[in-house]
Amino acid sequence: MPRNNPGLITRDDGSHDAVIHMPADLGVDGAWLADWAQTLLWALDRLRSGAWDTPGEETLDEIQTAINDLEHQLAPRLDGMRDALIRAHFVAGGSYADLALALNRRKSTAQYRADKVLKKAPSKMEVWARGTPGPSPTVVEPTQD
């Protein structure tokens, strides 16, 4: 995938809107992911600006929304996507060394993570990431190089 910088639109208040390409096939899933990602950017801004440093019910409600979107919506899907990508990596002929490079980790760490994924059935979120209700593709044994 090309690494294009997202288009940025500057608003009058100095904030920016990022314009990203969303493949049509993602449909509602893509819209939800974008919504949860927007919540996380908003939460990061609130944390950095100190907006949540004052106690109050509204502050607590906002923080709880951010935690929910991160913990119960986005994080499980990101985990599923990562696991699906690790499986796909080996189906495509990737090695532990290649995975270590992609993960920016030592080869032993990459092997541990890959083995953990490959030795279990795909999780609900990994199946979600693949977009198919059926089994994931046949996995070939990872190579050591």
- Give domain limits for the chain: 55-145
Q: Which pLDDT score is estimated for 132?
A: 74
Lowest-confidence region among 49-53, 57-61, 138-142: 138-142
pLDDT, mean of residues 45-67? 93
The share of the chain scoring above pLDDT 70, in percent, equals: 86
Q: What is the mean pLDDT of the chain?
A: 86
Tell me whether residue 9 is exposed, middle or buried, using C-beta atoms within 10 angstroms of its C-beta: 0 to 12, 13 to 18, 19 or more: exposed
Note the pLDDT of residue 68.
92
The reported pLDDT for the residue numbered 141 is: 54
pLDDT of residue 144: 64
Tens digit of each residue's pLDDT (9 = 90 or more) over 17-52: 777 777 778 888 888 888 898 999 999 999 999 999
The pTM for the full model equals 0.78
Q: What is the pLDDT of residue 130?
A: 92
Which one is predicted more confidently, 10 or 108? 108
pLDDT for position 140: 46
